[in-house]
């Protein structure tokens, strides 16, 4: 195999969402397969090698605490920094916390306005409804999550970081595939642009030749 398929992909992934939704639990579950219960508030950057569909990938995962700084300017600067760094986004809410779900819409807006996506490009975003095991305390329906993902053209999963490793694995694998696809389409577009450029150069030369 040649080109993009043969290379080890290196991708930056940021995990975002309000406090207490399980961002750290989800990240640690993916990295170690374990759920340890309490995670503290530390900001962590992990580098992790995974094999997705037979291809090796290095994922740099930024588990970012929700910054509710008094200073709105430095808060938006921080958010902007994370968005620029990332190739893909895991946006987490808790199915028992309506406010955390509402925050996802705002995060998608921030990502859309801060990052230049090509119009045809699907954004490498996965929306995750966590704490599925607490269904008796559910305040956000699965359909609401699915609809939001559909309208924003993102992937959607409902998971329980506490109870299930496999669904968490699906989240990250889904995102990796998404990032890979968007890189291939950007490469293709660059190829098409190259052809258009050389064709216009030929036509421009013909025009000047005939003058
Ligand atoms: P973060 O602030 O978004 O990083 O959230 P944490 O990962 O620190 O988790 C916040 C709390 O929710 C902790 O007490 C976790 O044990 C708990 N938690 C995380 N994921 C789940 C889950 O899937 N189910 C349940 N029942 N609790 C969870
Ligand atoms: Mg955390």
Per-residue pLDDT tens over the stretch 63-111: 988 866 556 676 677 778 888 899 999 999 999 999 999 999 989 988 8
Query: What six digits make up the tokens of 190?
Result: 């660059």
Q: What is the reported pTM?
A: 0.86
Ligand 1 centroid to Cα of residue 131, in Å, is: 7
Task: Give all strands (DSSP E) within 19-67, no chain letters.
Answer: 44-52, 55-63
Please give the Cα distance from 71 to 83 (Å, whole number): 19
How far is residue 49 from each of residues 1, 43, 56, 153, 164, measured CA to CA in Å? Answer: 20, 20, 7, 27, 21
pLDDT in tens, 102-158: 999 989 988 888 877 665 567 899 999 999 999 999 999 999 999 999 999 999 999
Ligand 1 site residues (CB inside 6 A) read 17, 19-25, 37-39, 130-131, 133-134, 160-162
**CATH of range 4-210; options 3.40.50.300, 1.10.287.110, 3.20.20.140, 2.60.120.10:** 3.40.50.300
Give me the percent of the chain exceeding a pLDDT of 90.
57
Would you give the distance in Å from CA 71 to the centre of its chain? 26
**Which residue has tokens 């968490």?**
168
pLDDT value, residue 65: 82
Q: What is the pLDDT of residue 72?
A: 65
State which H helix or E strand residue 125 sits in: strand 125-130
- Cα 167 to averaged position of ligand 1 atoms, centre (Å): 15
Q: What is the per-residue pLDDT across 146-194, written as a single tens digit (0 to 9) for each?
A: 999 999 999 999 999 999 999 999 999 999 999 988 877 666 666 666 6
CB 129 within 8 A of CB 147: no
Residue 2 has pLDDT above 50, yes or no: no
- How far apart CA 162 and CA 129 sit, in angstroms, is 13
Ligand minimally distant from the alpha carbon of residue 130: 1
Domain segments of the chain as ranges:
4-210
Pocket test for ligand 1, best of 22, 43, 101 (most atoms within 8 A of CB): 22
Asked if pLDDT for residue 1 goes beyond 50, the answer is no
- Taking the centre of ligand 2 as the mean of its atom positions, its distance from the CA of residue 56, in whole angstroms, is 27
| Burial status of residue 144 (CB atoms within 10 A of its CB: 0-12, 13-18, 19 or more) | middle
Name the band, by pLDDT with cuts 50, 70 and 90, for residue 54. Answer: confident
């Amino acid at each position: 195999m040649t080109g993009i398929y043969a290379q080890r992909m290196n991708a930056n992934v940021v995990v975002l969402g309000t406090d207490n939704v399980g961002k750290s639990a989800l990240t640690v579950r993916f990295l170690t397969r374990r759920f340890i219960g309490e995670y503290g508030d530390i900001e962590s950057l992990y580098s992790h090698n995974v094999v997705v569909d037979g291809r090796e990938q290095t994922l740099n995962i930024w588990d970012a605490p929700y910054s509710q700084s008094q200073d709105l300017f430095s808060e938006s600067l921080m958010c902007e920094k994370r968005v620029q760094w990332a190739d893909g986004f895991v946006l987490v809410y808790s199915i028992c916390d309506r406010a955390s779900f509402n925050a996802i819409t705002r995060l998608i807006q921030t990502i859309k306005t801060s990052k230049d996506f090509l119009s045809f490009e699907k954004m490498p975003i996965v929306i995750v409804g966590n704490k599925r095991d607490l269904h008796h305390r559910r305040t956000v329906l699965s359909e609401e999550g699915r609809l939001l993902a559909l309208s924003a053209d993102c992937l959607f999963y409902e998971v329980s970081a506490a109870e299930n490793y496999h669904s968490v694995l699906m989240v990250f694998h889904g995102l990796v595939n998404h990032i890979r696809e968007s890189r291939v389409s950007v490469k293709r577009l660059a190829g098409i642009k190259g052809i258009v450029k050389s064709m216009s150069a030929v036509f421009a030369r013909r025009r000047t030749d005939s003058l």
